[in-house]
Amino acid sequence: MKVLITGSNGLLGQKLVKLMSGKTDIDVIATARNSDRLPENYADYEFHPLDITDEAAVLEVVGKYKPDAIINTAAMTNVDQCETEKEGCIDLNVNSVKYLIKACEETGAHLVHCSTDFIFDGSHGPLDENEKPNPVNFYGESKLEAENLIINSNISWAIARTVLVFGIANDMSRSNIILWVKNSLENGKEINVVDDQWRTPTLAEDLAIGCYLIAKKKAKGIYNISGKDMLTPYDMAIKTADFFKLDKSLIHKTDGSKFKQPAKRPPKTGFIIDKARKDLGYEPHSFEEGLEVLNEQMQTA
């Protein structure tokens, strides 16, 4: 099986390359806009530079390799950046998907596209795959538009929706809530963390496994691929402090109205993952187990 991964320098992209390049029955083609930033010990893959906002480049690279599956992890995921840079957001989150669909039409590749809980308004949760989307910010709108393009296409497709991904990777350009809390508390810094938003935080390794299982089984349709514990960011911060034995008195509970951010956040999402469990055999780590995985990686980094 030949799998092409977009966004291979990102957190999920790196986890996918590591997971899939370690399997003897999979040929991995890693692609990213910039030069290859994957660790040197990820040996068994081929890298090709690819800007997925360039239609000609997408058609050329996919046409060259003719993969059985494409896993699209590339996106503009900074929610506030999407709100202030709408043209760039559309280019990366919507137009690129049009080009990937066209490439799949030409090659017959199965498209596995990563989407988000932010396509929902957050009025209630946790949510299953049949919930009606209603985004409250531009990031969510762009990801929903991409989903609709895929759903209404004639290609073989699957959409993997996820929630608040955390983890560490090589040469990371962005942090996440776990690392932010840990670093802040280690430096004795007081932090304000919201307790009026609910999510099912997802370990990056778990999301990679979910995407791999979809590609391997050529599963079709929409799948919720997230963690299984429904938590607020404040809950996550306290659990992080407890795990790393840090001073949780530095963590102060607050609510989303206290933060001035360009993009609105959905208050309550989180996913029901029964379909992925049943169809794919997907079983994520608990949040605490995810912290243990992170800790082990930080010890060997």
Nearest CA-CA partner of 119 in 290, 269, 295: 269
User: Going edge to edge, which strands form the sheet with 46-49?
Assistant: 46-49, 27-32, 2-6, 69-72, 110-116, 157-162, 221-224
The pLDDT of 245-258, averaged and rounded, is 94
pLDDT of residue 173: 66
Diameter over CA atoms, the chain:
57
What is the per-residue pLDDT across 144-197, written as a single tens digit (0 to 9) for each? Answer: 999 999 999 999 999 999 999 999 988 776 778 999 999 999 999 999 999 999
Would the pLDDT of 256 be above 90?
no
Structure tokens at 165: 């991904």
**Distance of alpha carbon 169 from alpha carbon 150, whole angstroms:** 29
Beta bridge partners, 222, equal: 159
Give the predicted TM-score (pTM) of the model.
0.97
Architecture of domain 2-170+201-228+270-287: 3-Layer(aba) Sandwich (3.40)
What is the per-residue pLDDT across 57-89, written as a single tens digit (0 to 9) for each? Answer: 999 999 999 999 999 999 999 999 999 999 999
Torsion of CA 40, 44, 49, 53, to 10 degrees: -120
What is the per-residue pLDDT across 36-62, written as a single tens digit (0 to 9) for each? Answer: 988 887 779 999 999 999 999 999 999
pLDDT of residue 234: 98
What is the per-residue pLDDT across 275-286, written as a single tens digit (0 to 9) for each? Answer: 999 999 999 999
Residue with tokens 């896993």: 71
Structure tokens at 267: 């208050």
For residue 286, give every residue at least 6 positions away whose Cβ sits within 8 Å of its Cβ, in sequence order, or none. Answer: 227, 228, 229
Nearest CA-CA partner of 136 in 266, 281, 285: 266
